[in-house]
Structure 1
Amino acid sequence: MVTLRPIFSLLVKSTFLLLCCPILSFALEIKLNENPIYQAPPVFVKSCPNGILEKVGEGDDTIQIVHLWGTPREMGKAHGELFKEEIAEHLKNISEAMARDMGADLSILDHVWAAAKPHVSPYFIEEMEGLAEGCGVDVQSVIRSNMIGEASEWHCSLFGAWGNATKETGHLLQLRSLDYEVNAGIQKYPVIFVYHPNPGQGHAFANFSWAGVIGAVTGISSERLAISEIGDDYDKANDTFDGIPFVFLLRDILQFDHSLDEATSRIKNAKRTTSLMYAVGDGEMGQARAYQTSHTLCNVYDPANLEPLVDTHPRIDDIVYWGMSWNVPAFDKPLHDMLQKHYGKLNGEVVVREILPTVRTGNLQVAVYDLTDMVVWTANARADGEKGPRNAYERQFVKVDMNSLFNREKPTPQ
């Protein structure tokens, strides 16, 4: 069931609020994902100047991996050249989906961009211009596709777990579970973009995204930082688009920050826009923090002060977590109960096999980060014309070795 909920009076901020699991009681019905986890290395597909396209996974669960090198414009152009047809189709799907499912047109995204543009760093604009050049579309269409996240809410789930919670391995584990509209075709072309910026322009990082989209909602960096995000409207009276779009704020964390402290400072000091919740994990530090933010507030939480403190969302040592949004008992309680059930033995396979299908979160995209071993388990929703279950959490996951991706060297021209 999809609920469209406007939360702005001047510009309608529409949301594909997906009530994936209208749970009326909190009794856990254990579900399992018994699909084999794909673990083979990526396979080369093709290349272009400053870019290499590979693939990983099998059948309808295949994910593209793109390595990008150079300046922002060069990386954007390579992105566009490698996905000319896919980006054109993706932009068409966005237009049709907004008209059909959101009762809106693309002019809303133009208004969002007009408010946001003064706060967007030039390198993002250069990358989008390069992308448009590479795939042969107008740059405004690319900009619109990158404003979808800012103009709508992504009701998702997240957690960070370490210490006693993962005592069996001692690893830092983090969940980014994306629940969103699955009928708009967003998931048709999932791509892991691995950026290798020029010296002085940041470090290597991976953006788990889709063809044509450079903003980050899911990702991990070579500095062992990872991001998770949830949309809400708890401070809607103060929401605005006059600030940095969150997808660019999160990408800056991946590209430029070296520690949890730096990421926290960036979030606190940013000109924030709307009601959004984040988690950032730091594999070097071995901990994560959760953030409740809006244009006017920024609350930073660890396990000792995590809010909201209610019966369906109690605190857990060495874990920060939220189910679907701020104070949503139908998801908070099952997520809490599953984290407690596996407390001390939490690992990526437990999350993939049992926690996600039982809680029923991550219908569009899932990433489970092990920030100690630097591996990610990821899956995407079924697109139209594909086979198998619709929800990402029910499908085959791919396990990706991030160190091998970050260490990839640019091929020498022949």
Structure 2
Amino acid sequence: MNIFLLFIIILLVVETILAHRGFSYENLGSFCKNNTPHGNPNLLPIETGLPRLIRNIENGSLYQIGIDDDQTWLIHVWGMNGYDYGFAYGTLLNEQINKFIPKTYAYFEKEVMEKLEHLQVPDWFKKIIANKGLAFALDLQNTLVEPYMDKEIYNELQGISDGAKIDYKLLLRIHMFGELTRAHCFYFGAWGKATLGGKTLQLRAFDWDMSADLQAYPVITIYHPRSSKLGHTFTNIAWAGYIGVLSGMSSTLLGMTSIGVEFPDDTFGDESMSGEPFIFVSRHILQYSQTVDDALAYISDVRRTCHLIMGIADGKLNTARMIQYSHSKVNFFDDLNLQPAAEWHPQITNVVYNGMDWLCPSYQYKLYQQIMEQYGHITPESTIQNISAVVKTGDVHVAVYDLSENILYLANGAASNKQGPKQAYQRQFNKLDLKIEYDRKQPSIDVVED
């Protein structure tokens, strides 16, 4: 047997023995026990201007949306394979990728090495990081997940590498970080009686370390497949060079989000370093699933990895689900059986929701209060004004999905050198009609516009 393969098998056995089983309620961090969030409403007007074309190439178009310090890159890519997607993406966002990826990796490396003991990974993996370095550990992480990955993901990363002229291994390592970290985020899916006109709406608020300055390089990517093997058209909301999905929507009226879990209870199963990384599970769902039922079936069958809460809403079936996600267990919740069952997390008809973590009383109850204050007339606008801003969630970005109309509302936090409020929930939102964007045609010549 190959010595390296034997080493991996031994590590996986050790991982199973040492698997993290969760914390008790008494061990919750102070941010979940004692913090009572209350922010000011966001009264800024929503920017509705049309995207501005920057450049076309054969398989890609680059636009900008927004004004002043609240601009976001919007990129369309077309392809017969992942490489086509990646090469167009890398070519159009060359400058942004070469600024963002090395800077972000350096920041992550520093943070990981300084806070190694607090990482939500097995002890054996921490020892590898400490003794062999982060690059070695992330390469090992890729070896553990590679059997479960869609090969077109690797092709896309190679295309970005070639188009942007950036190191392929660096790109790949950036995409392995998701399994090592936990982002504290908020989610709700609302439909029927809860919303104005019975629309299906979803809040995705992404809370993470703003010192990493992810928000300085925001990118909305719209994928247009030219081959059935690439699924259907979908949208990823991320940053320059990042192709995993933390936030996104699809042309089939699905919306995705995920919340990292630091404080599980004993209803969660084990974690594993071996499986399909959750950022690519989410991407697969947006890229290939037609309905929430397809998505839940995929989640049931896939080899899962870490503790998460996933949120999926479906504008066709007019419903939403929350998923308790771990390697060895998965549970699906609707508004009738929503968990955790606690006085600080009451059930709401036609709403599923979670705030900050699995066990996080103060934030979850505050989210409940704001949803109930708007109940029966929840809209994207009221969510922006009176829910995310008042609960103070979504510092890096806030996305509100209108899945009945396929419209995205997005705000990004301020880059470190920008003025005004830092958190996305207090900044101006941009409105993007994805029906129009999904119908855009593939360019055939290079055009530059002032």
Instruction: Tell me if both proteins adopt one fold, taking TM over 0.5 as the criterion.
Output: yes
2:211 is the alignment partner of 1:183: yes
Report the counterpart of residue 162 of structure 2 in structure 1.
133
Q: Alignment partner for residue 86 of structure 1, among 96, 103, 106?
A: 96
Report the counterpart of residue 3 of structure 1 in structure 2.
none
TM-fit CA distance, 1:241: 1.6
Q: Alignment partner for residue 255 of structure 2, among 223, 226, 229?
A: 226
Report the counterpart of residue 107 of structure 2 in structure 1.
97
2:437 is the alignment partner of 1:405: yes
Report the counterpart of residue 192 of structure 1 in structure 2.
220
2:432 & 2:30 partners in 1: Cα distance? 27
Report the counterpart of residue 44 of structure 2 in structure 1.
35
Report the counterpart of residue 60 of structure 1 in structure 2.
69
Which is helix-richer, 1 or 2? 2
2:302 is the alignment partner of 1:270: yes
Q: Alignment partner for residue 349 of structure 1, among 381, 384, 394?
A: 381
After superposition, the C-alpha distances for 1:287-315 in whole angstroms (9 at most, x for unaligned) are 00110010011000000000011010010
2:67 is the alignment partner of 1:48: no
For residue 182 of structure 2, give the secondary structure of its aligned residue in structure 1.
coil
Q: Alignment partner for residue 173 of structure 1, among 198, 201, 218?
A: 201
Please tell me the residue identity of whatever aligns with 1:302: D
For residue 102 of structure 1, give the secondary structure of its aligned residue in structure 2.
helix
Q: Is the 8 A contact 2:269 2:326 kept in 1?
A: no
Please tell me the residue identity of whatever aligns with 1:274: C
After superposition, the C-alpha distances for 1:325-379 in whole angstroms (9 at most, x for unaligned) are 1020121000000111110010101110111111111111111101011111111
State the identity %: 34
After superposition, the C-alpha distances for 1:73-118 in whole angstroms (9 at most, x for unaligned) are 0110011111112112212212321233232633332232121111
For residue 275 of structure 2, give the secondary structure of its aligned residue in structure 1.
coil
For residue 97 of structure 1, give the secondary structure of its aligned residue in structure 2.
helix
> For residues 189-268 of structure 1, what are the structure 2 equivalents within 5 Å?
189-200=217-228, 201-233=230-262, 234=264, 238-268=270-300
1:340 & 1:20 partners in 2: Cα distance? 25
1:8 & 1:91 partners in 2: Cα distance? 33
For residue 238 of structure 1, give the secondary structure of its aligned residue in structure 2.
coil
1:136 & 1:310 partners in 2: Cα distance? 52
Aligned pair count reads 400
> For residues 288-307 of structure 1, what are the structure 2 equivalents within 5 Å?
288-307=320-339
2:137 is the alignment partner of 1:121: no
TM-fit CA distance, 1:49: 2.3
1:188 & 1:42 partners in 2: Cα distance? 19
Farther off after superposition, 78-87 or 96-105: 96-105
For residue 378 of structure 1, give the secondary structure of its aligned residue in structure 2.
strand
2:357 is the alignment partner of 1:328: no
1:30 & 1:49 partners in 2: Cα distance? 46
Please tell me the residue identity of whatever aligns with 2:56: S
2:237 & 2:343 partners in 1: Cα distance? 34
Structure with larger RCO (C-alpha < 8 A, sep 6+): 2
Report the counterpart of residue 382 of structure 1 in structure 2.
414
2:193 is the alignment partner of 1:164: yes
2:362 is the alignment partner of 1:314: no
Report the counterpart of residue 391 of structure 1 in structure 2.
423
Gaps spanning 5+ residues in structure 1: where? 1-6, 13-18
User: Which of these two proteins has the greater Rg computed from alpha carbons?
Assistant: 2
2:138 is the alignment partner of 1:106: no
Q: Is the 8 A contact 1:232 1:275 kept in 2?
A: yes
2:101 & 2:17 partners in 1: Cα distance? 27
Please tell me the residue identity of whatever aligns with 1:96: A
Q: Is the 8 A contact 2:304 2:326 kept in 1?
A: yes
After superposition, the C-alpha distances for 1:260-297 in whole angstroms (9 at most, x for unaligned) are 11001011111000001111111000000110010011
TM-score (norm 2): 0.85
Q: Is the 8 A contact 1:20 1:361 kept in 2?
A: no
1:103 & 1:350 partners in 2: Cα distance? 41
TM-score (norm 1): 0.92
TM-fit CA distance, 1:237: 7.7
Change (3 A) 1:237 1:257: closer
Please tell me the residue identity of whatever aligns with 2:34: L
For residue 400 of structure 1, give the secondary structure of its aligned residue in structure 2.
strand
For residue 183 of structure 1, give the secondary structure of its aligned residue in structure 2.
helix
Please tell me the residue identity of whatever aligns with 2:385: R
1:313 & 1:412 partners in 2: Cα distance? 52
Change (3 A) 1:321 1:11: closer
Report the counterpart of residue 4 of structure 1 in structure 2.
none
TM-fit CA distance, 1:382: 1.0
For residue 103 of structure 1, give the secondary structure of its aligned residue in structure 2.
helix
Please tell me the residue identity of whatever aligns with 1:51: G
Please tell me the residue identity of whatever aligns with 2:330: C
Gaps spanning 5+ residues in structure 2: where? 1-14, 21-28, 115-133
For residue 68 of structure 1, give the secondary structure of its aligned residue in structure 2.
strand
2:423 & 2:361 partners in 1: Cα distance? 21
